[in-house]
Structure 1
Amino acid sequence: MISAVRYVTVAVRDLDRACRFYEETFDYLPHARATVTGAAFEQLWRLPAGMTAEVAVLGPVGADSGRLRLIAFDRPGEPYWGDYGSPQDHGLYALNIRVPEIGAAVQRLRAAGGRSKSSPTRWTVTPQVSAWDSLSYDPDGVILDVFELETAPGSLMDDYDGGCTALQTICLHSGDARQSARFYAALGFRPWYDKMIERMEGFFKIPAGTPLHNINMVMPDSPSIGRIEIAQYVGFPGSSQRDRAVPPNLGLLSASLETTDLAETGKLLRAIGAEPVGEAVEVDLPGSGAVRARSYYGPDDEVLEFYQTL
């Protein structure tokens, strides 16, 4: 069995600054902190030989999925998305976090050192759910989709405790949304919605007349946290960021999923065409303890880490 997304790994310049930003903006708490290095992490995380990484795991109280894994390396890097001048390129793109009130959340984000990209905009997600959606940057230039939901009683997203959530969604820009959705369906994800979004080019900062094919995938046992959101700008082709989305460059580097059987998961991944990043290794994973893990490339060269607790 494969889980929803347990962690999203984000490389940052200054670990203490990044931790303060997420603590002050979203009330996240530290779950673990460690220093990692060595051959096993070089295989799993594509670290250059001899590199050391400082790691902090953050999230709301009690979160076991949708946690944020911040990493600062002992060598300088640059944001691999640059200034987002090519937003159509493929790869892990944004972190999506639900908040109780969008206006107050954006104010807190700015006060903590973030900046806005697109002002809150209301759109209909499904007949039962509408969103006040905003795009912002964290201090390292990572895109944050911060949103407030209006939900009908009994809808999929109606179960909400009224606080800032763990990472509800990791967003993936794809060259082929349907192909990507088939890949994640094979892992156990199921579509919450599959729609073409039009007339929001100003919000997404894309050329006029470019529709967004948006497929939001959920794990049945975790419908709100740890989802995969697939986004394709139709008719606006991009390119893989596989060679740029590597340490020590900054940005979203991987999504981590837990499995009850890493060997069987490896067979499944090979059957659906996933390419291994490195060999399987045993490591002490900050926040999870002793695990056996292996990373693979997804259909748009996004890195997915699968781990089994030992």
Structure 2
Amino acid sequence: MLSEVKLVTLGVSDLDRALSFYREALGYQLHERGEISPQLASLWRFDPALHGRWAVIGADGSGLGRIRLLAFDTPGQRLWNADNLYNGSGYYALNFRCRDALATMQAVTAAGGSSAHEPSYWEVSEQVAVRDSINDDPDGIRLDVFSYERGGELRGALETEVSVVQTIAIATRNIARSVAFYQALGFETLFDRVLDFPELQELLGTDRPVRIHNVNLIKDGHIVPGRVEMFAYLDMEHLAEAPLRDAAVPPNIGILSASLHSAALESELAAVLALGGQLIARERLELPGVGLCDVASVFGPDGEQLELYQPL
């Protein structure tokens, strides 16, 4: 059906500052930029009276795992905070592979981001072990950077110091529901584990010891970038789910959407809706960073917004 995640959209407070940060911290380069058209308002769920700018950046020229930045004259509120940390649902973090997690963490902080601690070591599986660091960009958008201690050859060569976007992480209170939805879109389980090790609290920056159920899904079993990852905090059944759906709109600050390429939007959109997706809008227009497209925006099972596009 649909592709892996080709593009992720971030709401930021200052476009120029964000461009500078991602260039200095991750080595991402500017590909395109422009003014945000009011025609995008229904797809992206913003007031067409607002004025804003966009830019698309990437680690390389492959067209994989790119980032679209949106900034409006009147920035909004951050999506994640202490009140929804444990029961919020929706896009939570972006994940990047790098040559050296410590060096990348240091570059993040030098460029104006933040990190609570140096990279932690953990064993993903018997074959794979990583150094992993949770960081924030200047707007508090969570960036998970990791380097392989063991098993990197299983994912192929790394052509840049920091990779294209490897994974978009989704917080959920119903992991089985979320996994089933993306599996139906052609994603396959890469690993499925309950994480419960002493360094986990430090790694995630939580204010208490935690256990999480973590599932990483890869497209068609072999497309390494553009994966989706679900995680759910365990032992917190008393907390009701709090979707970020209504808050994850411009000009608010955070991860707003994930974009998937479609070869046959009419049929693939029908399939997504049959799986429980909810249509937001459909338009034919110039899609920033892509070009003239037939585009549909839909809600996924955790209220996360998916942008499905077919170039024309």
TM-score, normalization by structure 2: 0.93
Q: How many residues align?
A: 307
Match of 1:287, as an amino acid? Answer: G
Structure 1 residues 150-299: aligned runs within 5 Å: 150-152=149-151, 155=154, 157-161=155-159, 163-199=161-197, 200-206=200-206, 208=208, 210-220=210-220, 223-236=223-236, 237=239, 238-278=241-281, 280-299=282-301
Q: Which residue does 1:51 correspond to in 2? A: 50
Q: 1:286, CA displacement in angstroms?
A: 1.9
Contact preservation (8 Å) 1:97, 1:168? yes
Q: Structure 2 CA distance, aligned partners of 1:218 and 1:147? A: 17
Unpaired segments of 5 or more residues in structure 1?
none
State the identity %: 36
Q: Structure 2 CA distance, aligned partners of 1:85 and 1:272? A: 27
Q: Structure 2 CA distance, aligned partners of 1:221 and 1:282? A: 31
Contact preservation (8 Å) 2:86, 2:233? no
Match of 1:126, as an amino acid? Answer: S
Match of 2:162, as an amino acid? Answer: C
Are 2:299 and 1:300 equivalent residues in the alignment? no
12-21 vs 97-106, which moves further = 97-106
Q: Which residue does 1:25 correspond to in 2? A: 25
Q: 1:154, CA displacement in angstroms?
A: 5.2
Distance change >3 Å, CA 254–CA 116, structure 1 → 2: same
Are 2:101 and 1:102 equivalent residues in the alignment? yes
Cα RMSD over matched residues? Answer: 1.7
Match of 1:277, as an amino acid? Answer: I
Distance change >3 Å, CA 94–CA 106, structure 1 → 2: same
61-70 vs 249-258, which moves further = 61-70
Q: 1:274, CA displacement in angstroms?
A: 0.6
Structure 1 residues 77-116: aligned runs within 5 Å: 77-82=76-81, 86-116=85-115
Q: 1:74, CA displacement in angstroms?
A: 2.5
Q: Which residue does 2:311 correspond to in 1? A: 309
Q: 1:127, CA displacement in angstroms?
A: 1.7
TM-score, normalization by structure 1: 0.94
Deviations 1:51-71 (A, max 9, x none): 232110001122312101000
Distance change >3 Å, CA 85–CA 186, structure 1 → 2: closer
Q: Structure 2 CA distance, aligned partners of 1:145 and 1:97? A: 6
Q: Structure 1 CA distance, aligned partners of 2:146 and 2:256? A: 23
Q: 1:190, CA displacement in angstroms?
A: 0.7
Match of 1:44, SS state, is helix
Unpaired segments of 5 or more residues in structure 2?
none
Distance change >3 Å, CA 84–CA 111, structure 1 → 2: farther
Q: 1:47, CA displacement in angstroms?
A: 1.2
Q: 1:8, CA displacement in angstroms?
A: 0.6
Q: Which residue does 1:75 correspond to in 2? A: 74
Distance change >3 Å, CA 167–CA 127, structure 1 → 2: same
Match of 1:78, as an amino acid? Answer: Q
Contact preservation (8 Å) 2:132, 2:203? no
Deviations 1:188-241 (A, max 9, x none): 111100111012233223465532110001112753211101111123244111
Distance change >3 Å, CA 153–CA 135, structure 1 → 2: closer
Q: Which residue does 2:130 correspond to in 1? A: 131
